[in-house]
Amino acid sequence: MRRLLLALPFALLPLAVTQAAVEHDHDHDEHGSLSAHEHGVGRLNAALDGQTLELELESPAMNLVGFEHAATTDADKAKVAAVRAQLEKPLVLFNLPKAAGCVIATQELESPLFGDKPDADDHDEEDAKDGHEHELDHSEIHAHYQFSCSAPGALKTLDLATIFNTFPATQKIQVQLISPSGQQGVEVTAKAAALKF
């Protein structure tokens, strides 16, 4: 009996923790996104594991498209389509060396500007109005790529110069890089756009 009573709080704990995490995320998305999302600043997670290279670029839409509202005019729609086409050529965009023999295994682009619905749990029915305005204020573009590289040893550096040239409103990219030589967090700018794997 005593054992059961001791076990009980622990049994309840995971649920409480999960609940707290959900609440926290919700708060963060609703009130924290403005500080997390700074125009001119992109984020990139890069991971090299064996032959698999994974790149995850998260950027304010402003950096890539020049605006963050839903495209309604023909000019805006054309701009969004052009950016999307550029993001669909990650081998060019990330300047991956041919010698590494990387091919795209998966790629996924996500943004309210591409017509994707924002995360469902951000928007309860009752605060749909409020949430909608936030969505109009700021939106991001997320691009997630997975490459299979036949000669990953040829990946000596990750050169982001093409990204800065293609999207000049991007001033810096905060990179988290995980590679066989360890993990590093680096802030990359147009002037110093390459980092070592």
* DSSP per-residue string spanning 146-183: EEEES-GGG--EEE-HHHHHH-TT--EEEEEEEETTEE
Least distance CB 40 / Zn ion (angstroms): 10
User: What single DSSP character describes residue 116?
Assistant: P
The answer to the question of residue 152 lying near Zn ion (CB under 5 A) is: no
Q: How many residues bind Zn ion (CB under 5 A)?
A: 3
Q: How far apart are CA 59 and CA 37, in angstroms?
A: 8
Name the minimum Å distance from CB 61 to Zn ion.
Answer: 7
Q: Name the minimum Å distance from CB 163 to Zn ion.
A: 18
138 binds Zn ion (CB under 5 A): yes
Pairing of strands 52-60, 41-49: antiparallel
Among residues 42, 48, 55, 60, the one that binds Zn ion under rule CB under 5 A = 60
Q: How far is the C-alpha of 95 from the C-alpha of 179, rounded, in Å?
A: 18
Query: Binding segment for Zn ion among 19-27, 86-94, 102-110, 137-145 (CB under 5 A)?
Result: 137-145
State the residues that interact with Zn ion by CB under 5 A: 60, 68, 138
